[in-house]
Amino acid sequence: MADYAMIINGEKVLSDTTFDVVNPATGDVFAKCPKATVEQLDEAVAAARKAFPGWSALADDQRVKIMNRIAGIIEQNQTELAGLITREQGKPLSGPGSVFEVGGCIAWTQVTAAMKLEPELVDDNPAETIELYKKPIGVVGSITPWNWPLLIAVWHIMPALRVGCTVVLKPASYTPLATLRLVELVNEVLPPGVLNVVSGSSDIGNAMSAHKGIDKIVFTGSIPVGQTIMGRAASNLKSLTLELGGNDAGIILPGTDVTPLLEPLFWGCFINAGQTCAALKRLFVHEDDYEDVCRKFTEYVTKIPVGDGMDEKNLIGPLGNRPQLETVRQYVDDAREKGARVLCGGAPCSGPGYFYPLTLVADVTDDMDLVKEEQFGTALPIIKYATVDEAVQRANSLDVGLGGSAWSNDPEKAKAVAMRLEAGTVWVNAHGKLHPMAPFGGVKFSGVGSEFGLEGLKAYTVNQVVSVAK
């Protein structure tokens, strides 16, 4: 097995204990990963604090130059990084899979490098000049999930580095390898201590959340863990950015010819085997169109190749881990037992790995787990509605609000419906498409704060008002 190490103060660091990394396509252990101690976390935080004054004082154009070098390093190592993602997370090399994910890392790094927070002139009067400056917040603690392990790490890291912060990163224990390798690679061009990575269990994440040497936590993951982080972060009033997922609704408007929309609808629902926070997880269809949409979507879905992501003919891979497989199985079984109709799929695949087929479930009701909970997998409930007002009300009835969408052959009509959804981002005739310059974040229980663009960059800073008397 390959040797994977943490990076602390620019040096490779191992631990006395390790944990297994499993290939979800086979269920087999294929790597060992060091399990950090709290003492090693302390060392990483100390290294980041020591590096912060020099990195934050570096000339802005020098940080930009380094970040563009980082984008080049990611590009040079795209094949290796994509292979690691597929082996540890399961998403295919093909389609919007691991090669696509690493490509997103390159693009996000380049776009972030090109952004700049200029001082703002607040007032200039005969008595004084007042300006607003954005200063780096300090040491950032990043805790990343297993579904898009490298891309979300880049979403956390790059804006922090861009404004002059230093970082301690903890990847998900299911998917640490590509992140460890990324941090090792980019430390070739970063000063020691600017970017550190420690791998381990939730104990390390808990310690990060309460660590007095960390000034900000950025976390992507579940609502319960986000709530725990918020509570622990209160010990030193840390700044927080929390992206906590959702249960996104999509509404197909009455009378829509769904045929030209099937491809974007499919990827809106099932990109990364549905394991995406901003995937479409509840599809509302008008009662007059219901059976036609169910039939056409089933025909489309059943033609998509599913299998081991290392085989480039496959577009959908396994679920990322056994607990997620069990969650999807339980939710579909619950729906079937309560009278739902399974249109395709509906049971775990035989053989090795954590495969659950692409599954569409019709005749569902709002009390079913598949509807009211975030399934985060390859099963989609198709919900019948009578009026658009009813669909909007039911779509907004949950306590989450990350994304939403409306679908129609008339985009303006769909836009009007989409804007009625209680969600941080809404799409028309698409779902889940993100842009590095467009702020992204949820409402209600879907999170706190925004990522991406200038708004996301500002989240890694604190205000300093400078008033100069004349």
Would you call 81 helix, strand, or coil by DSSP? helix
Specify which residues 131 forms β-bridges with. 121, 466
Helices (H), ranges, 58-97: 60-76, 78-89
- Angle in degrees, 0-180, between the axes of helices 223-233 and 202-210, rounded to the nearest 10: 40
**How is residue 297 written in tokens?**
């979507």
Would you call 179 helix, strand, or coil by DSSP? helix
Q: Is 105 a catalytic residue?
A: no
**How is residue 201 written in tokens?**
């269990």
**How is residue 242 written in tokens?**
């929390």
CA distance 226 to 54: 31
Would you call 270 helix, strand, or coil by DSSP? helix
> How many angstroms from the chain centroid is the CA of residue 420?
24
In 3-state terms, the chain is what percent helix, strand and coil (to 5)?
40, 25, 35
CA distances, 310 to each of 90, 97, 106, 377 (Å) = 9, 11, 22, 20
* Angle in degrees, CA 32, 36, 38, rounded to 5: 165
Q: Whose structure tokens read 């990060």?
A: 208
CA distance 110 to 159: 11
Question: Which residue, 402, 442, 439, 463, is CA-closest to 159?
Answer: 439
Kindly tell me the sign of the dihedral angle through the C-alpha atoms of 169, 172, 178, 184: positive
Q: Is 277 a catalytic residue?
A: yes
Q: What is the DSSP letter of 261?
A: G
- Choosing from 277, 374, 422, 451, the catalytic residue is 277
Question: Which residue, 398, 438, 439, is CA-closest to 422?
Answer: 398
- Choosing from 243, 374, 422, 451, the catalytic residue is 243
Helices (H) and strands (E) in the chain, counts: 15, 22
CA distances, 279 to each of 59, 210, 340, 358, 394 (Å) = 40, 31, 22, 14, 18
The catalytic site residues sit at 243, 277
